[in-house]
Amino acid sequence: AMGAGTLASAYLLNDSTAAAAEIRRRFFPHSADYPDVRKHNNCMASALTPSIYARLSDKATPNNWTLDQCIQTGVDNPGHPFIKTVGMVAGDEESYEVFAELFDPVIKDRHNGYDPRTMKHPTDLDSSKITSGIFDERYVLSSRVRTGRSIRGLSLPPACTRSERREVERVVVTALSGLKGDLAGRYYSLGEMSD
């Protein structure tokens, strides 16, 4: 016969879905899982409250990304007293909707009041509007462009599987191979590179 301890252990070891979280609540209240972030210096710790945690902790995105997965990095890394970090990550695009009650204030805190519900970030890619775009070669030796990626339908890096990473590579390489002229380049996969 299985006892309650055996059942609880089985559920705790397999908490990857919202259904498992619901069953776990039979054994433990939300407050038992609430992280101690009182001494943390990150946006998530500033915005997270026991009531927000209780409302969101049993939810999951369609890819089964949970609130605890979103906040774990901020729980594990308390931050520096003088450098406030974000303290949470999104696993997929749906994370921003499912966990909006926490993401929205974190975004607002991190981006100086930008409210994703009421504001729209302006985008102007017209290069003719750039002024003073010539750099003095005595002071600028090189520059680098760094990008992040969000491809609809694929998980974001914190939740990306190996197969999704391969699909991201395929999609990005295909898109970039269409660039011509001074934007054209050659792609080197990590497997092709030496040192």
CB 25 within 8 A of CB 8: no
CA 77 – CA 184 distance, rounded (Å) = 40
57 is in an annotated binding site: no
Question: How would you write the pLDDT of the chain (195 residues) with one tens digit per residue?
Answer: 444 444 444 444 444 556 666 676 678 888 889 999 999 999 999 999 999 999 999 999 999 999 999 999 999 999 999 999 999 999 999 999 999 999 999 999 999 999 999 999 889 989 889 888 788 888 888 777 777 778 999 999 999 999 999 999 999 999 999 999 988 888 888 888 786
Domains of the chain: 7-110 (1.10.135.10), 142-187 (no CATH)
Encoded tokens for 178: 């269409």
Q: Compute CA distances 112 → 66, 106, 125, 137, 145, whole Å.
A: 26, 10, 23, 34, 24
CB 102 within 8 A of CB 44: yes
Spatial CA neighbour of 75 closest among 125, 37, 104, 116: 37
Our measurement of the distance from residue 195's CA atom to the centroid of its chain's CA atoms, rounded to an integer in Å, reads: 30
pLDDT of residue 21: 64
Which strand (E) or helix (H) includes residue 170? helix 162-176
Spatial CA neighbour of 160 closest among 150, 175, 173: 150
145 is in an annotated binding site: yes
What's 91's DSSP letter? S
142 is in an annotated binding site: yes
